[in-house]
Amino acid sequence: MRTIRKLALIALALALVAAVWLWWNRPQPVDMTAYVPADSLVYLEANSLPQVVDGMIATDAWKRLAPLAGTGSGFSNIRWVSRLIAWTGIGPAEAVVLARAQVAVTVLGFTAEEEAGDTLKIKPRAAIIVESHSGTRRLRIAVEKLVGDFARRAYLNPQVERREADDVLLVTWSAPSGKRRIVAAVFESVAVIGNDDAAVQACLATRRGERPSLVGNAQLEEMRSRVDSRDALAFGFVPPVGAAKLLEVAATAYAGQLSPNPRIQSAAAILLPQLANRILGGAAWSMRVMDQLVEDRYFIELDSDLAARLQTALTPVSDASLRASELLPAMTHQLTSYTYQEPEAAWRGLNAAISSQLDALSAPLVARFLEEALTPYGIESPREFLRASGPELATARLDDTGQSTVLIARVRNREALREQVRRRLGSVTRERIGNAEMMISSNTKRGAASFVGDHLIMGAADDVRRCLAAQTEARALAAIDAFKRATQSTAQAGSNAAPAGAVTYTDDRPGTRRFVDFVAAARRDRPADRAALERELLQIAYSRSETRLIESGFERRTYSSFGQLGAITGQFAPETVMDQERLRPKVGRAELGN
C-alpha cells in the first residue's frame, strides 16, 4: 500500500513538473509590428500558421476538393499535432518553427529594370520576418532546410554564399543568372528572409532596436478596427505613403493597358500619384473564415471632404436585379454590376469630387481620363449615354484574357441610346439571332450592339453574338448553379449592411486549382482524380466581391474558396497537369516581377 502511495505521489509530482514545464515553454505571442521598419510601404502579419491552416482546411472548397486531389487524410490530425508540437517544442526543427511561428511581411521599396521587348520589370524589396519562439540553433537549421529546398526548386542549381555582418550569419541563394536571390539571416529567435540584402539588414536593425519600428503606429491600430482584425487569420496595413507609392508603381507598370493613346498613358502616370497623395489615406486588409468561405475585407481611407462629396453622388439602388447575368454566356469569367440610382449624376459627382483635389492645370485631365476609361466599352459621350441609361450598368469579361469584354446597360431612354449607338457604329449590317437583332459596324474596331428587351449590349461583334446565342439557347450565366450560389450566399456579414454600389463575380477556378494542387502535393497519398476535381470546381467556381462607400472611404468584402492568401500561396505552385491555364500573352510594356 505504501509503495502504491509513493508511486502515486511520484506520478503526481512528474505530472505537475510536466505541466509547469509545458506552461513555461509555451510560446508567448509578440507584437510583430515591433520587428518591422517604420518606413515600410506594406505590412502583413499572420500570428499563427497552424490557425491559418486550420481555417483553410475548414472551408467547403477544401472539404470537397482535397479528397479528389489525392489528399485530405494527412491533414485531419494537423490541428492537434501542431498544437502539441507548439506547446512542447518537441519535433523536427522545421516542424517546431512552423508550429510556433508568427510571421510578418514588409515591402520597403521597389526597383525597376528594363528587360527584352521593352518590358519594365518592377520588383518589390521585401522581407519575411519570422518570430519562431525557438532557439537560435534550431531556427537556423529550419531556415536553411526550408529556404534551401525552396531555392533549389526555384533556381534548380543555386549558388550558396555564407558571410557574417554585425555578428549575424547571412546565407544567400542566387540563381545562376545572378538576377534573383534569397537572403536569410537568423538573430536570436528571429529569422529574416528577403529578396534584397538591404531589406534584410533593415529588419535586423529594427529587431535590435537600432531603427524605428511600426509599433505604436496610431493609424495602423485604427485600421485594425476598420477591418475587424481581432479574430482575423491575417492582417495587412498600407500607410498613406505606401498607398501613393503602390499607385505610382501601378501607373508605371500598367499605363500601356489603360489606353492605347500615349497622351492618356502620360496623363495617368502624372495624375494617379498626385491623386494618391491628395485623396488617399491608409489601407487595410484582413482575412477570416465565415460559414466555410474565406472573407477578405479591405478598407481604403479617403480624404474626409472627398468621402462626403461622393456620398451624395454614389447612392446605390437597394433592390438591384442583376439582369445582366441573363444576357451573358455560361462561365463568363467576370461580371461587375454597378447599381447607382442616377448613373449620370454619379459620373458628374465622381468627376467633380476628384477634380476638386487637383490644381487648375491638372483638373481638366480627370474628365478626359475618365472618358477614355469607358471608350473600350463603346461609350464615347459618357454623360449622354449615362443620362439615357437606367440604374444598372454592367461590364463583363467573357474569358480570362481581358480581350473579350462587353457592356450591358439598362435602357431608360431608348431613342437617346439608339442615337448613341448610331453615332458609335456608323454604317452597319444587321444579323438576326433568335428574337434579337444585332447591329454590326462596318468598322470592326467599333464593334456591335443589340437591344434585348430593356437592355443594351455593346462590344466586339463575336462577343455580342456569344451573348445573344447564350440567351437564345438557354445557356446564360444566370442558370449556372455555381453562379446562383454566389448570388444567394448568406455567408457575408454585408447581408445586413448598406447596399453595395458595385458587385463583382469572378470565376475563381484557376486560383483555387493552383492552391489545392500546391498544398496537396505536400501530402498526396493517392492519385488525383482530375476529371472529378474539374467537375467539382464547376460547382464552386464563383467568388463574390461587394464594394460600398462608407463614412470615410471604400470598403470591399470578397467571399471565395481560399481568399487572397490562397491566391498568393498558389503563385508558388509550379505548372502541373492539373493547372489547365494557358500562359497568357504579355499585354502592354510592363509587368510586375518577384
pLDDT digits 0-9 by tens, 224-245: 999 998 889 999 999 988 988 8
Expressed in percent and rounded to 5, the helix, strand and coil fractions of the chain are 45, 25, 30
Q: What is the mean pLDDT of the chain?
A: 82
Which residues neighbour 386 within 8 Å (Cβ) at sequence distance 6 or greater? 343, 344, 346, 347, 393
Q: Give the pLDDT score at 7.
A: 60
Rg, the chain, Cα only: 27
Q: Please say if the pLDDT value at position 65 is more than 80.
A: yes
Q: Beta-strand (E) ranges in 156-279?
A: 159-165, 168-174, 181-187, 190-194, 234-238
**Closest C-alpha to 61, from 50, 47, 72:** 72
Q: Give the pLDDT score at 245.
A: 85
Dist. CA 393–CA 184, nearest whole Å = 50
Average pLDDT over residues 106-126: 76
* Residue 579: half-sphere exposure toward Cβ, Cα within 13 Å: 19
Residue 581 pLDDT grade (very low, low, confident, very high; cuts 50, 70, 90): very low
Average pLDDT over residues 393-410: 90
Dist. CA 514–CA 575, nearest whole Å = 9
Q: Give the pLDDT score at 21.
A: 46
Average pLDDT over residues 41-50: 92
Cα 354–chain centre separation: 25
* Residue 102: half-sphere exposure toward Cβ, Cα within 13 Å: 17
Q: What percent of the chain has pLDDT over 90?
A: 42
Dist. CA 200–CA 198, nearest whole Å = 5
Place of cell 544567400: 172
Q: Are strands 190-194 and 181-187 parallel, antiparallel or unpaired?
A: antiparallel
Dist. CA 395–CA 369, nearest whole Å = 18
Q: What percent of the chain has pLDDT over 70?
A: 80
Dist. CA 429–CA 443, nearest whole Å = 11
Average pLDDT over residues 214-221: 93
Which residues neighbour 226 within 8 Å (Cβ) at sequence distance 6 or greater? 284, 299, 301
Average pLDDT over residues 515-521: 83
Average pLDDT over residues 506-517: 90
Over residues 302-338, the pLDDT tens digits come to 877 788 888 878 888 876 677 899 999 999 999 999 9
What number of other Cβ atoms are within 10 A of residue 235's Cβ? 25
Q: Please say if the pLDDT value at position 47 is more than 60.
A: yes
- Maximum average pLDDT range among 148-152, 488-492, 516-520: 148-152
Comparing 275-284, 369-378, 413-422, 466-475, the range with the smallest average pLDDT is: 369-378
- Maximum average pLDDT range among 253-262, 266-275, 317-326, 554-563: 554-563
Q: What angle do CA 156, 158, 161 make, to 5 degrees?
A: 165
CA distances from 433 to 370, 456, 470 (A): 34, 15, 10
Q: Give the pLDDT score at 533.
A: 92
Dist. CA 34–CA 158, nearest whole Å = 33
Which residues neighbour 547 within 8 Å (Cβ) at sequence distance 6 or greater? 500, 501, 502, 503, 504, 554, 555, 556
